[in-house]
Amino acid sequence: MRLSIKGKQIAGVTALVGCVVLALSALYVARITAVVLHGSHARGLLLSNAIFHRAREVVTGSATPYEALRTDPGLRAILESSIYGESVTGAAILDTAGIIIASSDSTRVGLRADDRSDLAALLERSAIAQLRVLYSRGQTLDVRQPMMLGDEAFGAIRIGVSTVLMRQEVNAALRPALVTGAAALAIAVLVAALLAQLLLRPIHVIRSGLTRLGRGEFGVTLDLPPGDEFGELGSFFNTVSQQLSVDRTQLAGQKAHLQSAVEHLEDAVALFNPAGELLFSNRAMQPALGAEAVGRGVRQLLPDGHAYRAIVEETLATRRSHGPLQVHLRPQVVAEDGAGGSDDRSTDDVLLMTHAIEGTGDGLVAVLLVARDLAYLSRVQSTLAFSRKLMALGRLTAGVAHEVKNPLNAMMIHLELLRTKIRRGAHAAAPQADAVLAGRGLGLADAGPSPAEAEALQHVEVIEGAIRRLDEVVQGFLKFSRPEDLRLQPVSIAALFQELLPLVEPEAQANHVKIVVDAPASLPEVNADAAMLRQALLNLAINGCQAMPGGGTLRLGAAEGPRRTVEIRVEDTGVGIPADRLGKIFDLYYTTKDRGTGIGLSMVYRIIQLHDGELEVQSTPGSGTTFTIKLPRANEGS
């Protein structure tokens, strides 16, 4: 969820106040804890002093001091009254051996005293240590005072102080602080909201001005008070607005010049929006579309079966450029308004082409239709050139069949698996559905996806990937006849291998081939077009599987190479390639397979060349073949 500037400002002020409140609260808690601990220690010392003075009076002149202490009623009264003090749980007098002589709990007289921590030692520790002891499990600490008879140790006085009772004192003191902190945060939020409303008012004015500019208004200015950053921003906005007005005026003039130039073109030109409505047509196109055709749809302008309409609709549907196509227009397709008079193009041979114009977001913006009249060209030269294109197109089509077969195999295998899993899931779910209908009436039992359904969905994803690859193969087919449009970006070879596995495994299973992947995750990325590099590696992997009809191992490996490169190895243990054929395998249309087309390795070689890489092959007949690809590493900062 994205926060607005106002929300960020409120959150920032609130966070700042919250941090201050937390810091002050921490100091306050530490201070309160120290006060409570010192208070408990002082109460314990006061009580131990009272017990000490009474014990000294009892012991003085007594022949059996321990017995006197044990039987003195005044001392017993002081010990028993100790439990009524704050945080005090009891008091006891111990002899030098740690045996209780007298205690507020008479049942413990004669027993050995428990070994408990000294409260005085805790007072010397840090505030964090004090809080940890205070808020840990409940325990009793001792306030200790030694007893001397002359110069010799006679015993000790121990006052028990409970951490639970001290914790209750701290909590009671913290409640007002918590209320104060909550009130401070609430006030901070309110003040931050008021400040944000005040500070963001110029931003609202700027947004309003931008909205007016977006609607195409000229001369938009902002009236912001000078003297601060917003005033400077308003001045910059006014300058930009004036420049935009000048630029729009210049663009309008350039548009008029461009329109005049297009009007005088010999080629017929028309521009359609994504909805198929005509945006513009020049004078040469008007005999076919009419003079008042702007704003009307292509279906209204041209009858069904017209070559113009067919190629425009195909481009709108596929969002790809088409042509050039040579067509012969029939007389009945001329516009009924007869615009153009004697300039009747209906009986001419026309070369049609469309260009899909995409915007910055890869969305279709418009379709440009160009119809070129071939009457000015030599018919023989035109026919020969077109025949060569048809010949090349036929050979390339045969090559595309090779590339399409591999993903189709994967699609068919996984589709069959999908059917099997769905049937199993249906059989397993039928009894459960009957039980739900019988026991609860008509309803649905939603138990979530079964394992079979989840696995079936995975196969659906594989099929989707294979279908997507079909489109990439068609794009690769077209790239043989025009320059490649590389989209270079950092690509992880390890991730690319994982994407290849679902596509290669059907062919590997059919040939009983084991796939081994050796690509560390820390391997540097390469600068490549991910789709094209995936296509090249897939071709090599499929060829490797097919070279092992009796089974074997296909190894996909990658490692760092010299001169800031990454080496990718595709190694099989198949039949190998004879030495006299090794130098021809990358030639276009050269193949050693019965049904091969000789285009797969040519595509691989061309893709690696486009990436400024190197492709090497080593093969031993009967032992296998290894293809090594060397690609430059991606920039460290990319």
* Burial classification of residue 315, based on how many CB atoms lie within 10 Å of its CB (0-12 exposed, 13-18 middle, 19 or more buried): buried
Average pLDDT value for residue range 468-491: 63
Which token pair is 128? Answer: 């964090």
Average pLDDT value for residue range 321-338: 62
Q: Judge whether residue 39 has pLDDT over 80.
A: yes
Q: Judge whether residue 53 has pLDDT over 80.
A: yes
Q: Could you tell me which of 502, 405, 406, 510 has the C-alpha nearest to residue 461?
A: 502
| Whole-number pLDDT of residue 625 | 92
φ, ψ of residue 55 to 5 degrees: the values are -70, -35
Average pLDDT value for residue range 212-239: 73
The single residue listed with the structure tokens 């119809």 is 371
Q: Could you tell me which of 510, 511, 624 has the C-alpha nearest to residue 570?
A: 624
Cα–Cα distance between 85 and 43 in angstroms, integer? Answer: 8
pLDDT band at 332 (very low <50, low <70, confident <90, very high): very low
Which token pair is 479? Answer: 């790239």
pLDDT band at 594 (very low <50, low <70, confident <90, very high): low
| Whole-number pLDDT of residue 344 | 43
Q: Are 599 and 589 in contact (CB under 8 A)?
A: yes
Considering the chain, what percentage of its residues have pLDDT values greater than 70?
A: 74
Q: Judge whether residue 307 has pLDDT over 60.
A: yes
| Whole-number pLDDT of residue 334 | 40
φ, ψ of residue 561 to 5 degrees: the values are -115, 180
Stretch among 79-93, 215-229, 594-608 having the lowest mean pLDDT: 215-229
Average pLDDT value for residue range 358-387: 70
Highest mean pLDDT among 212-221, 435-444, 603-612: 603-612
Cα–Cα distance between 378 and 373 in angstroms, integer? Answer: 12
pLDDT band at 567 (very low <50, low <70, confident <90, very high): very high
| Whole-number pLDDT of residue 492 | 92
pLDDT band at 36 (very low <50, low <70, confident <90, very high): confident
Stretch among 159-173, 289-303, 316-330, 378-392 having the lowest mean pLDDT: 378-392
* Burial classification of residue 258, based on how many CB atoms lie within 10 Å of its CB (0-12 exposed, 13-18 middle, 19 or more buried): exposed
Q: Are 308 and 371 in contact (CB under 8 A)?
A: yes
3-state secondary structure of 63: coil
Highest mean pLDDT among 93-107, 317-331, 512-526: 512-526
Cα–Cα distance between 601 and 543 in angstroms, integer? Answer: 9
Cα-based torsion angle of the residue sequence 176, 181, 186, 189 in order, rounded to the nearest 10 degrees: 170
Distances (CA, A) of 256 to 221, 246, 259, 261, 263: 28, 16, 5, 9, 10
Q: Judge whether residue 491 has pLDDT over 50.
A: yes
| Whole-number pLDDT of residue 501 | 92
Q: Are 537 and 570 in contact (CB under 8 A)?
A: yes
Instruction: Please name every residue paired with 633 in a beta bridge, in sequence order, or none if there are none.
Output: 526
Q: Are 374 and 352 in contact (CB under 8 A)?
A: no
| Whole-number pLDDT of residue 335 | 43
Helices of type H across 547-592: 579-582
Considering the chain, what percentage of its residues have pLDDT values greater than 90?
A: 11
* Strand intervals (E) in 27-139: 88-94, 100-103
pLDDT band at 76 (very low <50, low <70, confident <90, very high): confident
What is the average pLDDT score of the chain?
77
Which token pair is 120? Answer: 């005085």
| pLDDT tens by residue, 377-406 | 555 465 556 556 656 665 666 566 556 656
CATH of the structural domain 265-377, one choice from 3.40.50.410, 3.50.30.60, 1.10.10.10, 3.30.450.20: 3.30.450.20
Stretch among 138-147, 154-163, 220-229, 284-293 having the lowest mean pLDDT: 220-229
Which token pair is 203? Answer: 């931003």
Stretch among 196-200, 412-416, 437-441, 450-454 having the lowest mean pLDDT: 437-441
| Whole-number pLDDT of residue 537 | 93
Secondary structure of 184-212 in HEC code, one letter for each residue: HHHHHHHHHHHHHHHHCHHHHHHHHHHHH
Please name the residues in contact with 478: beta carbons below 8 A apart, sequence gap of 6 or more: none
Q: Judge whether residue 126 has pLDDT over 80.
A: yes
Q: Judge whether residue 270 has pLDDT over 90.
A: no
Domain with CATH 3.30.450.20 in the chain: 5-187, 265-377
| Whole-number pLDDT of residue 227 | 66
Cα–Cα distance between 545 and 593 in angstroms, integer? Answer: 13
Strand pairing category for 552-561 and 513-518: parallel
Average pLDDT value for residue range 499-504: 91
Average pLDDT value for residue range 271-292: 81
CATH architecture of 483-632: 2-Layer Sandwich (3.30)
The enclosing H or E element of 311 equals: helix 307-318
For domain 5-187, give the fold. Answer: Beta-Lactamase (3.30.450)
Average pLDDT value for residue range 222-229: 70
Domain with CATH 3.30.565.10 in the chain: 483-632
Number of other residues whose CB lies within 10 A of the CB of residue 252: 9
| Whole-number pLDDT of residue 338 | 40
Average pLDDT value for residue range 276-285: 82
